[in-house]
Amino acid sequence: MTDAETVVTGFLTALDELDIDTALTFLSDDIVYQNVPLPAARGTAVVEDQLRRVARLCTKFEARTHHMAADGDVVLTERTDLLGIGLWEAEFWVFGTFRVEDGRITVWRDYFDWTTVLAASAVGAGRGALLGVRRLIGRSSGGGT
């Protein structure tokens, strides 16, 4: 694993743990973060605000890396990301591009298909509703969860 890959892996691991303080240590002061095609967030203060909002909202986040490749200071990831809020979970494919300079991430761009995200969100809502109903039925009948 290259130094750049180690930095990206450490960053994604911190996000998996919703440990924003640790995740921020991997970012340069002039970080550019973009969920393409949305506008880019520039600078650690703006990116920190976005990450903390996600961490407050989400009860679960996973970045399951399937493939990682590096060419010098550029790291490419093919991942499945999972977002969870209570009983709701959505999994979707993500392609990430990271640029690492002097041991810090200066560019982080994630690409994904919005249709897939919306479909995963709908499936997650259905599963969450089903789990909620099952829990209610279990409680009302005196059974376990």
Q: Which residue among 16, 71, 73, 110 is the active-site one?
A: 110
The domain of 26 spans 3-140
Q: Which ranges in the chain belong to alpha helices (H)?
A: 3-16, 20-24, 44-57, 114-140
pLDDT at 127 over 90: no
In a domain, 117, yes or no: yes
pLDDT at 75 over 70: yes
Give residue-wise pLDDT tens across range 17-58: 999 999 999 999 999 999 998 899 999 999 999 999 989 988
Active-site residue, 19 included: no
Q: Using the 8-state DSSP alphabet, how is residue 144 labeled?
A: -
In a domain, 43, yes or no: yes
Active-site residue, 81 included: yes
Whole-model pTM: value is 0.80
Q: What is the CATH number of the domain that holds 39?
A: 3.10.450.50
Q: Which residue among 3, 81, 102, 113 is the active-site one?
A: 81
In a domain, 145, yes or no: no
What is the average pLDDT score of the chain? 87
What HEC string does 28-59 produce? EEEEEEEEECCCCEECHHHHHHHHHHHHHHCC
Give residue-wise pLDDT tens across range 87-124: 778 888 999 999 999 999 999 999 987 767 666 666 65
In a domain, 54, yes or no: yes
| Among the listed residues 50, 134, 127, 135, the one whose alpha carbon sits nearest the alpha carbon of residue 89 | 127
**What's the total number of domains in the chain?**
1
In a domain, 92, yes or no: yes
